[in-house]
Structure 1
Amino acid sequence: MSAGRIGQPSRLRPRLHRWGAALDRVGLQAVFYGNTLRSVKDAVIHYRIEILRLIAEMGLGVGALAVIGGTVVIVAFLTLSVGALVAVIGYNQFSQVGVEALTGFASAYFNVRLLAPLIAGVALAATIGAGATAQLGAMRINEEIDALEVMGIRAVAFLASSRLLAGIIVVVPLYCVAILSSFLAARVGTTTGYGQSTGVYDHYFTTFLNPGDVLRSFVLAVTMAVVIMLIHTYYGFNAGGGPAGVGEAVGRAVRTSLVAATLMTMFVSLALYGQSGDFNFAG
Protein backbone atom coordinates (compact mmCIF):
# COMPACT_ATOMS: atom_id res chain seq x y z
CA MET A 1 0.00 0.00 0.00
CA SER A 2 2.76 2.42 0.92
CA ALA A 3 4.61 1.66 -2.32
CA GLY A 4 1.43 2.40 -4.31
CA ARG A 5 0.92 5.70 -2.49
CA ILE A 6 4.52 6.68 -3.15
CA GLY A 7 4.37 5.75 -6.85
CA GLN A 8 1.11 7.56 -7.56
CA PRO A 9 2.48 11.15 -7.20
CA SER A 10 5.51 10.23 -9.29
CA ARG A 11 3.23 9.15 -12.15
CA LEU A 12 1.07 12.27 -11.78
CA ARG A 13 3.99 14.71 -11.83
CA PRO A 14 4.84 14.36 -15.58
CA ARG A 15 1.19 14.82 -16.48
CA LEU A 16 0.95 17.98 -14.40
CA HIS A 17 4.17 19.20 -16.01
CA ARG A 18 2.69 18.72 -19.52
CA TRP A 19 -0.49 20.54 -18.51
CA GLY A 20 1.53 23.39 -17.07
CA ALA A 21 3.62 23.64 -20.24
CA ALA A 22 0.47 23.72 -22.36
CA LEU A 23 -0.98 26.52 -20.23
CA ASP A 24 2.30 28.42 -20.55
CA ARG A 25 2.09 28.17 -24.35
CA VAL A 26 -1.49 29.45 -24.30
CA GLY A 27 -0.44 32.36 -22.12
CA LEU A 28 2.48 33.23 -24.40
CA GLN A 29 0.19 33.16 -27.43
CA ALA A 30 -2.33 35.43 -25.70
CA VAL A 31 0.42 37.92 -24.81
CA PHE A 32 1.72 37.91 -28.40
CA TYR A 33 -1.78 38.39 -29.83
CA GLY A 34 -2.36 41.32 -27.48
CA ASN A 35 0.96 42.92 -28.42
CA THR A 36 0.22 42.46 -32.14
CA LEU A 37 -3.21 44.06 -31.89
CA ARG A 38 -1.89 46.85 -29.71
CA SER A 39 0.91 47.56 -32.22
CA VAL A 40 -1.47 48.02 -35.17
CA LYS A 41 -1.46 51.77 -34.58
CA ASP A 42 2.36 51.88 -34.70
CA ALA A 43 2.34 49.90 -37.94
CA VAL A 44 -0.10 52.31 -39.58
CA ILE A 45 1.90 55.35 -38.46
CA HIS A 46 5.47 54.20 -39.03
CA TYR A 47 5.39 51.30 -41.51
CA ARG A 48 2.84 52.21 -44.18
CA ILE A 49 5.21 51.38 -47.05
CA GLU A 50 5.78 47.90 -45.63
CA ILE A 51 2.03 47.36 -45.37
CA LEU A 52 1.56 48.35 -49.04
CA ARG A 53 4.35 46.00 -50.08
CA LEU A 54 2.77 43.13 -48.15
CA ILE A 55 -0.66 43.83 -49.69
CA ALA A 56 0.81 43.52 -53.20
CA GLU A 57 2.76 40.41 -52.22
CA MET A 58 -0.21 38.67 -50.60
CA GLY A 59 -2.64 39.47 -53.38
CA LEU A 60 -0.51 38.80 -56.46
CA GLY A 61 2.20 36.57 -55.01
CA VAL A 62 5.94 36.54 -55.64
CA GLY A 63 8.21 34.32 -57.71
CA ALA A 64 6.54 31.30 -59.28
CA LEU A 65 3.24 32.07 -57.56
CA ALA A 66 3.01 35.41 -59.37
CA VAL A 67 3.08 33.64 -62.74
CA ILE A 68 -0.38 32.13 -62.17
CA GLY A 69 -1.84 35.25 -60.56
CA GLY A 70 -1.13 34.64 -56.90
CA THR A 71 -3.66 34.02 -54.17
CA VAL A 72 -6.53 35.46 -56.25
CA VAL A 73 -6.38 32.61 -58.77
CA ILE A 74 -6.03 29.96 -56.05
CA VAL A 75 -9.06 31.25 -54.16
CA ALA A 76 -11.08 31.51 -57.39
CA PHE A 77 -10.19 27.95 -58.41
CA LEU A 78 -11.12 26.49 -55.01
CA THR A 79 -14.47 28.27 -54.85
CA LEU A 80 -15.23 27.41 -58.48
CA SER A 81 -14.81 23.75 -57.55
CA VAL A 82 -17.09 24.13 -54.54
CA GLY A 83 -19.73 25.97 -56.59
CA ALA A 84 -19.67 23.21 -59.18
CA LEU A 85 -20.18 20.63 -56.44
CA VAL A 86 -23.20 22.59 -55.20
CA ALA A 87 -24.66 22.40 -58.71
CA VAL A 88 -24.01 18.67 -59.06
CA ILE A 89 -25.14 17.56 -55.61
CA GLY A 90 -27.97 20.08 -55.31
CA TYR A 91 -29.54 19.31 -58.68
CA ASN A 92 -29.34 15.54 -58.23
CA GLN A 93 -30.73 15.61 -54.70
CA PHE A 94 -33.58 17.97 -55.55
CA SER A 95 -34.43 16.06 -58.74
CA GLN A 96 -35.10 12.93 -56.69
CA VAL A 97 -38.13 14.66 -55.14
CA GLY A 98 -39.09 16.61 -58.27
CA VAL A 99 -37.98 20.08 -57.14
CA GLU A 100 -34.76 20.49 -59.13
CA ALA A 101 -35.77 24.10 -59.78
CA LEU A 102 -34.62 24.84 -56.23
CA THR A 103 -30.95 24.39 -57.15
CA GLY A 104 -30.70 28.18 -57.26
CA PHE A 105 -31.85 28.20 -53.63
CA ALA A 106 -28.99 25.84 -52.70
CA SER A 107 -26.43 28.17 -54.25
CA ALA A 108 -27.85 31.29 -52.61
CA TYR A 109 -28.22 29.61 -49.23
CA PHE A 110 -25.26 27.29 -48.70
CA ASN A 111 -22.57 29.19 -50.60
CA VAL A 112 -23.15 32.37 -48.63
CA ARG A 113 -23.70 30.93 -45.19
CA LEU A 114 -21.20 28.09 -45.05
CA LEU A 115 -19.16 27.05 -48.07
CA ALA A 116 -17.64 30.29 -49.37
CA PRO A 117 -16.43 31.55 -45.96
CA LEU A 118 -14.98 28.16 -45.04
CA ILE A 119 -13.17 27.65 -48.35
CA ALA A 120 -11.86 31.24 -48.24
CA GLY A 121 -10.48 30.56 -44.75
CA VAL A 122 -8.78 27.37 -45.92
CA ALA A 123 -7.24 29.17 -48.90
CA LEU A 124 -6.10 32.05 -46.72
CA ALA A 125 -4.41 29.70 -44.25
CA ALA A 126 -2.74 27.61 -46.94
CA THR A 127 -1.39 30.53 -48.99
CA ILE A 128 -1.04 33.88 -47.21
CA GLY A 129 -0.82 32.44 -43.70
CA ALA A 130 1.71 29.74 -44.52
CA GLY A 131 3.81 32.25 -46.44
CA ALA A 132 3.85 34.64 -43.48
CA THR A 133 4.94 31.86 -41.12
CA ALA A 134 7.74 30.75 -43.43
CA GLN A 135 9.00 34.31 -43.92
CA LEU A 136 9.03 35.16 -40.23
CA GLY A 137 10.50 31.79 -39.32
CA ALA A 138 13.36 32.27 -41.78
CA MET A 139 14.01 35.72 -40.34
CA ARG A 140 14.03 34.31 -36.82
CA ILE A 141 16.53 31.52 -37.45
CA ASN A 142 18.77 33.93 -39.41
CA GLU A 143 18.65 36.35 -36.44
CA GLU A 144 17.16 39.09 -38.62
CA ILE A 145 14.42 39.78 -36.07
CA ASP A 146 17.04 40.26 -33.36
CA ALA A 147 18.91 42.63 -35.69
CA LEU A 148 15.76 44.70 -36.22
CA GLU A 149 15.25 45.01 -32.47
CA VAL A 150 18.88 46.04 -31.98
CA MET A 151 18.41 48.79 -34.59
CA GLY A 152 15.44 50.13 -32.61
CA ILE A 153 12.72 48.93 -34.99
CA ARG A 154 9.52 47.71 -33.35
CA ALA A 155 9.73 44.10 -34.51
CA VAL A 156 6.17 43.12 -33.58
CA ALA A 157 4.67 46.16 -35.32
CA PHE A 158 6.96 45.93 -38.36
CA LEU A 159 6.58 42.18 -38.91
CA ALA A 160 3.41 40.93 -37.23
CA SER A 161 1.01 43.87 -37.09
CA SER A 162 1.81 44.90 -40.67
CA ARG A 163 1.02 41.38 -41.91
CA LEU A 164 -2.18 41.35 -39.88
CA LEU A 165 -3.35 44.60 -41.48
CA ALA A 166 -2.33 43.47 -44.95
CA GLY A 167 -4.21 40.20 -44.52
CA ILE A 168 -7.37 42.01 -43.42
CA ILE A 169 -7.22 44.39 -46.40
CA VAL A 170 -6.45 41.66 -48.92
CA VAL A 171 -9.20 39.32 -47.72
CA VAL A 172 -11.99 41.73 -48.77
CA PRO A 173 -11.35 41.60 -52.56
CA LEU A 174 -10.32 37.97 -52.23
CA TYR A 175 -13.65 37.11 -50.67
CA CYS A 176 -15.47 39.05 -53.39
CA VAL A 177 -13.71 36.82 -55.93
CA ALA A 178 -14.51 33.73 -53.85
CA ILE A 179 -18.24 34.32 -53.48
CA LEU A 180 -18.72 35.44 -57.10
CA SER A 181 -16.81 32.39 -58.34
CA SER A 182 -19.00 30.05 -56.29
CA PHE A 183 -22.15 31.73 -57.64
CA LEU A 184 -20.88 31.56 -61.23
CA ALA A 185 -19.84 27.91 -61.05
CA ALA A 186 -23.17 26.85 -59.56
CA ARG A 187 -25.14 28.77 -62.18
CA VAL A 188 -23.10 27.54 -65.15
CA GLY A 189 -23.09 23.96 -63.87
CA THR A 190 -26.86 23.92 -63.39
CA THR A 191 -27.92 25.73 -66.55
CA THR A 192 -25.27 24.37 -68.92
CA GLY A 193 -24.49 20.98 -67.46
CA TYR A 194 -28.05 19.97 -66.55
CA GLY A 195 -29.99 22.15 -68.98
CA GLN A 196 -32.10 24.02 -66.46
CA SER A 197 -33.62 27.27 -67.66
CA THR A 198 -31.60 30.34 -66.69
CA GLY A 199 -34.81 32.17 -65.83
CA VAL A 200 -35.89 29.47 -63.38
CA TYR A 201 -32.46 29.32 -61.78
CA ASP A 202 -32.17 33.12 -61.47
CA HIS A 203 -35.68 33.40 -60.02
CA TYR A 204 -35.05 31.04 -57.13
CA PHE A 205 -31.50 32.33 -56.64
CA THR A 206 -32.61 35.96 -56.25
CA THR A 207 -35.62 34.95 -54.15
CA PHE A 208 -33.55 33.21 -51.50
CA LEU A 209 -30.43 35.41 -51.63
CA ASN A 210 -30.49 37.61 -48.55
CA PRO A 211 -28.19 40.69 -48.78
CA GLY A 212 -27.84 40.60 -45.00
CA ASP A 213 -26.38 37.10 -45.22
CA VAL A 214 -23.81 38.31 -47.75
CA LEU A 215 -22.77 41.11 -45.41
CA ARG A 216 -22.52 38.75 -42.47
CA SER A 217 -20.40 36.36 -44.51
CA PHE A 218 -17.99 39.21 -45.25
CA VAL A 219 -17.75 39.95 -41.53
CA LEU A 220 -17.05 36.26 -40.88
CA ALA A 221 -14.34 36.22 -43.56
CA VAL A 222 -12.61 39.28 -42.08
CA THR A 223 -12.80 37.82 -38.58
CA MET A 224 -11.28 34.56 -39.81
CA ALA A 225 -8.51 36.57 -41.50
CA VAL A 226 -7.67 38.23 -38.17
CA VAL A 227 -7.51 34.91 -36.33
CA ILE A 228 -5.55 33.15 -39.07
CA MET A 229 -2.96 35.92 -39.41
CA LEU A 230 -2.49 36.13 -35.64
CA ILE A 231 -1.87 32.38 -35.44
CA HIS A 232 0.56 32.29 -38.36
CA THR A 233 2.55 35.32 -37.28
CA TYR A 234 2.92 33.87 -33.78
CA TYR A 235 4.33 30.57 -35.00
CA GLY A 236 6.64 32.28 -37.47
CA PHE A 237 7.84 34.89 -34.99
CA ASN A 238 8.69 32.23 -32.41
CA ALA A 239 10.11 29.56 -34.73
CA GLY A 240 13.38 27.88 -33.84
CA GLY A 241 15.53 24.89 -34.56
CA GLY A 242 16.85 25.77 -37.99
CA PRO A 243 15.12 25.09 -41.32
CA ALA A 244 13.45 21.98 -39.93
CA GLY A 245 12.00 24.09 -37.14
CA VAL A 246 10.59 26.54 -39.66
CA GLY A 247 8.87 23.70 -41.53
CA GLU A 248 7.46 22.40 -38.27
CA ALA A 249 6.21 25.88 -37.37
CA VAL A 250 4.43 26.17 -40.74
CA GLY A 251 2.76 22.79 -40.23
CA ARG A 252 1.63 23.66 -36.71
CA ALA A 253 0.33 27.05 -37.82
CA VAL A 254 -1.66 25.65 -40.75
CA ARG A 255 -3.14 22.92 -38.57
CA THR A 256 -4.12 25.35 -35.82
CA SER A 257 -5.55 27.94 -38.20
CA LEU A 258 -7.61 25.37 -40.12
CA VAL A 259 -9.12 24.12 -36.88
CA ALA A 260 -9.79 27.70 -35.76
CA ALA A 261 -11.42 28.63 -39.10
CA THR A 262 -13.66 25.55 -39.03
CA LEU A 263 -14.74 26.16 -35.44
CA MET A 264 -15.41 29.84 -36.12
CA THR A 265 -17.55 29.02 -39.16
CA MET A 266 -19.52 26.43 -37.20
CA PHE A 267 -20.15 28.53 -34.10
CA VAL A 268 -20.90 31.76 -35.97
CA SER A 269 -23.31 29.92 -38.29
CA LEU A 270 -25.04 28.39 -35.27
CA ALA A 271 -25.24 31.77 -33.55
CA LEU A 272 -26.63 33.56 -36.60
CA TYR A 273 -28.85 30.93 -38.20
CA GLY A 274 -29.34 28.22 -35.57
CA GLN A 275 -32.77 29.35 -34.39
CA SER A 276 -34.93 30.33 -37.35
CA GLY A 277 -32.76 29.92 -40.46
CA ASP A 278 -33.94 33.35 -41.66
CA PHE A 279 -35.28 32.37 -45.08
CA ASN A 280 -35.98 35.21 -47.49
CA PHE A 281 -39.28 34.56 -49.29
CA ALA A 282 -39.62 38.04 -50.77
CA GLY A 283 -39.49 38.50 -54.54
Structure 2
Amino acid sequence: MSYLQTIRSRYPKFARRSSAALRSISLVGEHGVFYFRAFREIGHAASAYRKETLRVIAEMGMGTGVLAIIGGTVVIVSFMTLSAGALLAIQGFASLSDIGVEALTGFFAAFINVRIAAPVTSGIALAATIGAGATARIGAMRISEEIDAMEVMAIRSISYVVSTRVIGGLVVIIPVYSMAVLMSFLSSQLYTTYIAGQSSGVYNHYFYTFLRPVDLLYSFLQAVIMATTVMLIHCFYGYNASGGPSGVGFAVGRAVRASLIAVVSVTMLVSLAVYGTAGNFDLAG
Protein backbone atom coordinates (compact mmCIF):
# COMPACT_ATOMS: atom_id res chain seq x y z
CA MET A 1 0.00 0.00 0.00
CA SER A 2 1.37 3.38 -1.01
CA TYR A 3 1.67 6.34 1.31
CA LEU A 4 -1.26 8.08 -0.41
CA GLN A 5 -3.49 5.02 -0.05
CA THR A 6 -2.63 4.78 3.64
CA ILE A 7 -3.69 8.39 4.20
CA ARG A 8 -6.96 7.80 2.36
CA SER A 9 -7.82 4.72 4.43
CA ARG A 10 -7.08 6.33 7.79
CA TYR A 11 -8.42 9.82 7.16
CA PRO A 12 -11.14 9.62 4.46
CA LYS A 13 -12.69 13.05 5.07
CA PHE A 14 -9.34 14.80 5.10
CA ALA A 15 -8.30 12.89 1.98
CA ARG A 16 -11.40 13.97 0.07
CA ARG A 17 -10.88 17.61 0.94
CA SER A 18 -7.19 17.68 0.19
CA SER A 19 -6.78 15.02 -2.48
CA ALA A 20 -5.10 17.40 -4.92
CA ALA A 21 -2.53 18.51 -2.35
CA LEU A 22 -1.87 14.92 -1.32
CA ARG A 23 -1.36 13.88 -4.93
CA SER A 24 1.13 16.71 -5.37
CA ILE A 25 3.02 15.73 -2.21
CA SER A 26 3.04 12.09 -3.28
CA LEU A 27 4.32 13.01 -6.74
CA VAL A 28 7.13 15.11 -5.25
CA GLY A 29 8.11 12.17 -3.08
CA GLU A 30 8.10 9.81 -6.06
CA HIS A 31 10.33 12.21 -7.98
CA GLY A 32 12.75 12.48 -5.06
CA VAL A 33 13.04 8.72 -4.57
CA PHE A 34 13.51 8.15 -8.30
CA TYR A 35 16.24 10.80 -8.58
CA PHE A 36 18.04 9.40 -5.54
CA ARG A 37 18.02 5.91 -7.02
CA ALA A 38 19.26 7.21 -10.37
CA PHE A 39 22.20 9.03 -8.76
CA ARG A 40 22.98 6.06 -6.53
CA GLU A 41 23.25 3.76 -9.56
CA ILE A 42 25.58 6.01 -11.58
CA GLY A 43 28.72 4.22 -10.38
CA HIS A 44 27.23 0.82 -11.16
CA ALA A 45 26.11 1.95 -14.61
CA ALA A 46 29.55 3.33 -15.47
CA SER A 47 31.26 0.06 -14.50
CA ALA A 48 28.73 -2.62 -15.44
CA TYR A 49 27.11 -1.10 -18.54
CA ARG A 50 29.99 0.64 -20.29
CA LYS A 51 28.86 -0.27 -23.82
CA GLU A 52 25.35 0.98 -23.20
CA THR A 53 26.73 4.19 -21.71
CA LEU A 54 28.91 4.80 -24.78
CA ARG A 55 25.97 4.06 -27.08
CA VAL A 56 23.79 6.55 -25.22
CA ILE A 57 26.50 9.22 -25.38
CA ALA A 58 26.84 8.75 -29.16
CA GLU A 59 23.07 8.77 -29.62
CA MET A 60 22.66 11.96 -27.61
CA GLY A 61 25.48 13.79 -29.34
CA MET A 62 24.91 12.87 -32.98
CA GLY A 63 21.39 11.48 -32.94
CA THR A 64 19.95 8.46 -34.71
CA GLY A 65 18.01 7.98 -37.93
CA VAL A 66 16.98 11.19 -39.68
CA LEU A 67 18.31 13.31 -36.82
CA ALA A 68 21.84 11.99 -37.45
CA ILE A 69 21.78 13.33 -41.02
CA ILE A 70 21.79 16.95 -39.85
CA GLY A 71 24.34 16.38 -37.10
CA GLY A 72 22.11 15.62 -34.14
CA THR A 73 21.80 17.67 -31.01
CA VAL A 74 25.03 19.60 -31.61
CA VAL A 75 23.73 21.22 -34.79
CA ILE A 76 20.25 21.88 -33.38
CA VAL A 77 21.51 23.56 -30.21
CA SER A 78 24.13 25.52 -32.15
CA PHE A 79 21.57 26.81 -34.65
CA MET A 80 19.15 27.84 -31.90
CA THR A 81 21.80 29.75 -29.95
CA LEU A 82 23.07 31.31 -33.19
CA SER A 83 19.56 32.62 -33.79
CA ALA A 84 19.28 33.84 -30.19
CA GLY A 85 22.63 35.65 -30.41
CA ALA A 86 21.69 37.30 -33.68
CA LEU A 87 18.32 38.40 -32.30
CA LEU A 88 20.06 39.84 -29.24
CA ALA A 89 22.43 41.83 -31.44
CA ILE A 90 19.61 43.09 -33.69
CA GLN A 91 17.43 44.27 -30.83
CA GLY A 92 20.36 45.52 -28.76
CA PHE A 93 21.92 47.56 -31.55
CA ALA A 94 18.58 49.09 -32.54
CA SER A 95 17.61 49.97 -28.97
CA LEU A 96 21.02 51.36 -28.03
CA SER A 97 21.15 53.41 -31.24
CA ASP A 98 18.03 55.26 -30.14
CA ILE A 99 19.95 56.74 -27.20
CA GLY A 100 23.28 57.10 -29.00
CA VAL A 101 25.24 54.31 -27.23
CA GLU A 102 25.23 51.60 -29.89
CA ALA A 103 28.90 51.00 -29.06
CA LEU A 104 27.67 49.01 -26.03
CA THR A 105 26.30 46.22 -28.25
CA GLY A 106 29.47 44.29 -27.44
CA PHE A 107 28.57 44.58 -23.77
CA PHE A 108 25.12 43.11 -24.51
CA ALA A 109 26.69 40.15 -26.29
CA ALA A 110 29.19 39.45 -23.52
CA PHE A 111 26.79 39.94 -20.63
CA ILE A 112 23.37 38.64 -21.72
CA ASN A 113 24.52 35.77 -23.93
CA VAL A 114 26.54 34.18 -21.15
CA ARG A 115 24.12 34.71 -18.29
CA ILE A 116 20.70 34.29 -19.90
CA ALA A 117 20.38 33.74 -23.65
CA ALA A 118 22.75 30.82 -24.24
CA PRO A 119 21.82 28.79 -21.10
CA VAL A 120 18.05 29.15 -21.53
CA THR A 121 18.13 28.47 -25.28
CA SER A 122 20.36 25.43 -24.79
CA GLY A 123 18.11 24.09 -22.03
CA ILE A 124 15.02 24.41 -24.21
CA ALA A 125 16.80 22.68 -27.09
CA LEU A 126 17.95 19.84 -24.83
CA ALA A 127 14.42 19.33 -23.53
CA ALA A 128 12.99 19.25 -27.06
CA THR A 129 15.62 16.88 -28.51
CA ILE A 130 17.46 14.67 -26.03
CA GLY A 131 14.82 14.84 -23.32
CA ALA A 132 11.77 14.11 -25.46
CA GLY A 133 13.61 11.31 -27.22
CA ALA A 134 14.59 9.72 -23.91
CA THR A 135 11.01 9.85 -22.62
CA ALA A 136 9.64 8.26 -25.79
CA ARG A 137 12.32 5.56 -25.83
CA ILE A 138 11.98 4.61 -22.18
CA GLY A 139 8.19 4.85 -22.34
CA ALA A 140 8.14 2.44 -25.29
CA MET A 141 10.33 0.06 -23.29
CA ARG A 142 7.91 0.29 -20.37
CA ILE A 143 4.70 -0.41 -22.28
CA SER A 144 6.34 -3.25 -24.25
CA GLU A 145 7.43 -4.78 -20.91
CA GLU A 146 11.14 -4.60 -21.76
CA ILE A 147 11.89 -3.02 -18.39
CA ASP A 148 10.01 -5.80 -16.61
CA ALA A 149 12.02 -8.33 -18.61
CA MET A 150 15.24 -6.66 -17.45
CA GLU A 151 14.19 -7.05 -13.84
CA VAL A 152 13.45 -10.74 -14.45
CA MET A 153 16.96 -11.19 -15.91
CA ALA A 154 18.51 -9.52 -12.83
CA ILE A 155 19.44 -6.37 -14.77
CA ARG A 156 19.08 -3.20 -12.72
CA SER A 157 16.59 -1.28 -14.81
CA ILE A 158 17.25 2.08 -13.13
CA SER A 159 20.99 1.69 -13.70
CA TYR A 160 20.70 0.41 -17.28
CA VAL A 161 17.93 2.71 -18.48
CA VAL A 162 18.18 5.88 -16.39
CA SER A 163 21.67 6.24 -14.91
CA THR A 164 23.34 5.61 -18.28
CA ARG A 165 21.35 8.50 -19.75
CA VAL A 166 22.22 10.78 -16.86
CA ILE A 167 25.90 10.03 -17.48
CA GLY A 168 25.39 10.63 -21.19
CA GLY A 169 23.76 13.99 -20.54
CA LEU A 170 26.63 15.08 -18.29
CA VAL A 171 29.21 14.09 -20.91
CA VAL A 172 27.43 15.50 -23.96
CA ILE A 173 26.51 18.86 -22.44
CA ILE A 174 30.13 20.10 -22.27
CA PRO A 175 30.92 20.06 -26.04
CA VAL A 176 27.33 20.90 -26.96
CA TYR A 177 27.24 23.95 -24.72
CA SER A 178 30.72 25.02 -25.87
CA MET A 179 29.42 25.13 -29.43
CA ALA A 180 26.29 26.94 -28.27
CA VAL A 181 28.23 29.73 -26.56
CA LEU A 182 30.63 30.13 -29.49
CA MET A 183 27.77 30.36 -31.99
CA SER A 184 25.95 32.96 -29.90
CA PHE A 185 29.13 35.06 -29.72
CA LEU A 186 29.82 34.63 -33.44
CA SER A 187 26.34 35.59 -34.60
CA SER A 188 26.27 38.70 -32.40
CA GLN A 189 29.64 39.85 -33.72
CA LEU A 190 28.86 39.14 -37.37
CA TYR A 191 25.61 41.09 -37.29
CA THR A 192 27.03 44.06 -35.39
CA THR A 193 30.22 44.45 -37.42
CA TYR A 194 29.28 43.24 -40.92
CA ILE A 195 25.57 44.09 -41.19
CA ALA A 196 25.10 47.00 -38.78
CA GLY A 197 28.50 48.44 -39.76
CA GLN A 198 30.00 49.01 -36.33
CA SER A 199 33.79 49.07 -36.07
CA SER A 200 35.33 45.74 -35.04
CA GLY A 201 37.64 47.56 -32.65
CA VAL A 202 34.76 49.21 -30.81
CA TYR A 203 32.80 45.97 -30.59
CA ASN A 204 35.79 43.92 -29.40
CA HIS A 205 36.74 46.53 -26.81
CA TYR A 206 33.40 46.42 -25.02
CA PHE A 207 32.96 42.68 -25.60
CA TYR A 208 36.25 41.67 -23.99
CA THR A 209 35.94 44.33 -21.28
CA PHE A 210 32.70 42.85 -19.95
CA LEU A 211 33.33 39.17 -20.73
CA ARG A 212 34.38 37.79 -17.35
CA PRO A 213 35.94 34.29 -17.41
CA VAL A 214 34.25 33.44 -14.12
CA ASP A 215 30.87 34.13 -15.74
CA LEU A 216 31.66 31.51 -18.37
CA LEU A 217 32.44 28.99 -15.64
CA TYR A 218 29.16 29.76 -13.90
CA SER A 219 27.38 29.48 -17.24
CA PHE A 220 28.82 26.01 -17.81
CA LEU A 221 27.82 25.03 -14.28
CA GLN A 222 24.31 26.22 -15.03
CA ALA A 223 24.25 24.18 -18.25
CA VAL A 224 25.38 21.03 -16.40
CA ILE A 225 22.65 21.48 -13.77
CA MET A 226 20.10 22.03 -16.55
CA ALA A 227 21.18 18.91 -18.44
CA THR A 228 21.01 16.77 -15.30
CA THR A 229 17.59 18.14 -14.36
CA VAL A 230 16.18 17.69 -17.86
CA MET A 231 17.42 14.09 -18.12
CA LEU A 232 16.06 13.13 -14.69
CA ILE A 233 12.64 14.62 -15.39
CA HIS A 234 12.30 12.99 -18.80
CA CYS A 235 13.56 9.62 -17.58
CA PHE A 236 11.06 9.72 -14.70
CA TYR A 237 8.07 10.26 -16.94
CA GLY A 238 9.26 7.68 -19.46
CA TYR A 239 10.01 5.09 -16.79
CA ASN A 240 6.55 5.50 -15.25
CA ALA A 241 4.61 5.71 -18.53
CA SER A 242 1.45 3.65 -18.86
CA GLY A 243 -1.60 3.34 -21.06
CA GLY A 244 -0.12 2.19 -24.34
CA PRO A 245 1.22 4.43 -27.14
CA SER A 246 -1.11 7.27 -26.20
CA GLY A 247 0.25 7.09 -22.66
CA VAL A 248 3.78 7.49 -23.97
CA GLY A 249 2.75 10.61 -25.89
CA PHE A 250 1.07 11.96 -22.78
CA ALA A 251 4.24 11.26 -20.77
CA VAL A 252 6.38 13.11 -23.34
CA GLY A 253 4.10 16.14 -23.18
CA ARG A 254 4.16 16.26 -19.38
CA ALA A 255 7.93 15.77 -19.33
CA VAL A 256 8.57 18.60 -21.80
CA ARG A 257 6.28 20.92 -19.85
CA ALA A 258 8.00 20.08 -16.55
CA SER A 259 11.51 20.37 -18.01
CA LEU A 260 10.82 23.77 -19.58
CA ILE A 261 9.65 25.03 -16.20
CA ALA A 262 12.76 23.50 -14.63
CA VAL A 263 15.07 25.22 -17.15
CA VAL A 264 13.70 28.65 -16.30
CA SER A 265 13.73 27.85 -12.58
CA VAL A 266 17.36 26.70 -12.69
CA THR A 267 18.32 29.90 -14.52
CA MET A 268 16.62 32.01 -11.87
CA LEU A 269 18.03 30.07 -8.90
CA VAL A 270 21.59 29.94 -10.24
CA SER A 271 21.49 33.64 -11.07
CA LEU A 272 20.28 34.46 -7.57
CA ALA A 273 22.87 32.20 -5.97
CA VAL A 274 25.81 33.45 -8.04
CA TYR A 275 25.03 37.09 -8.76
CA GLY A 276 22.42 37.97 -6.15
CA THR A 277 21.40 41.61 -6.39
CA ALA A 278 24.81 42.70 -7.72
CA GLY A 279 25.54 42.71 -11.42
CA ASN A 280 29.28 42.23 -10.89
CA PHE A 281 30.33 44.82 -13.47
CA ASP A 282 31.18 48.49 -13.57
CA LEU A 283 29.77 50.30 -16.57
CA ALA A 284 32.64 52.63 -17.45
CA GLY A 285 35.19 53.30 -20.18
Tell me the equivalent position of 2:76: 74
State the distance in 1 between where 2:29 and 2:91 align: 44
Q: CA deviation at 1:142?
A: 0.1
Equivalence map 1:26-105=2 (5 Å):
26-105=28-107
State the distance in 2 between where 1:229 and 1:272 align: 23
Tell me the equivalent position of 1:210: 212
Equivalence map 1:202-281=2 (5 Å):
202-279=204-281
Residue from 121, 124, 130 that aligns with 1:122:
124
State the distance in 2 between where 1:117 and 1:240 align: 32
Report % sequence identity.
55
State the distance in 2 between where 1:151 and 1:280 align: 61
Superimposed CA distance per residue, residues 24-79 of structure 1 (whole angstroms, 9 cap, x where no aligned partner): 11111111110000000100110111111111100100000011111111101100
State the distance in 1 between where 2:263 and 2:104 align: 29
Q: 1:11 to 1:151 in 2, by over 3 A?
A: closer
The answer to whether the aligner puts 1:108 opposite 2:110 as a matched pair is yes
Superimposed CA distance per residue, residues 199-229 of structure 1 (whole angstroms, 9 cap, x where no aligned partner): 1111110011000000000000001111111
In the alignment, residue 59 of structure 1 is paired with which amino acid?
A: G
The answer to whether the aligner puts 1:145 opposite 2:158 as a matched pair is no
State the distance in 2 between where 1:71 and 1:16 align: 43
Q: CA deviation at 1:15?
A: 3.5
Tell me the equivalent position of 1:155: 157
Aligned residues: 275
Q: 1:216 to 1:243 in 2, by over 3 A?
A: same
Tell me the equivalent position of 1:200: 202
State the distance in 1 between where 2:15 and 2:36 align: 32
Q: CA deviation at 1:10?
A: 9.5
Greater CA drift, 264-273 or 246-255: 264-273
State the distance in 1 between where 2:15 and 2:131 align: 37
In the alignment, residue 94 of structure 1 is paired with which amino acid?
A: L
In the alignment, residue 246 of structure 1 is paired with which amino acid?
A: V
State the distance in 1 between where 2:171 and 2:145 align: 29
Q: CA deviation at 1:269?
A: 1.1
In the alignment, residue 110 of structure 1 is paired with which amino acid?
A: I
Equivalence map 1:165-180=2 (5 Å):
165-180=167-182
Tell me the equivalent position of 1:19: 21
Structure 1: gaps (5+ residues): 1-8
The answer to whether the aligner puts 1:190 opposite 2:192 as a matched pair is yes
State the distance in 2 between where 1:83 and 1:169 align: 24
Tell me the equivalent position of 2:8: none
In the alignment, residue 158 of structure 1 is paired with which amino acid?
A: Y
Is 2:93–2:192's contact at 8 Å kept on the other side of the alignment?
A: yes
Q: CA deviation at 1:18?
A: 2.3
In the alignment, residue 39 of structure 1 is paired with which amino acid?
A: E
State the distance in 2 between where 1:211 and 1:30 align: 34
State the distance in 2 between where 1:143 and 1:246 align: 13
In the alignment, residue 181 of structure 1 is paired with which amino acid?
A: M
Greater CA drift, 109-118 or 13-22: 13-22
TM (norm. structure 1) is 0.94
TM (norm. structure 2) is 0.93
State the distance in 2 between where 1:189 and 1:155 align: 49
> What is the alpha-carbon root mean square deviation over aligned residues?
1.7
Structure 2: gaps (5+ residues): 1-10
State the distance in 2 between where 1:246 and 1:267 align: 31
Superimposed CA distance per residue, residues 80-122 of structure 1 (whole angstroms, 9 cap, x where no aligned partner): 1100111111101111111101100000000001110111110
2:155 match: secondary structure:
coil
State the distance in 2 between where 1:219 and 1:280 align: 24
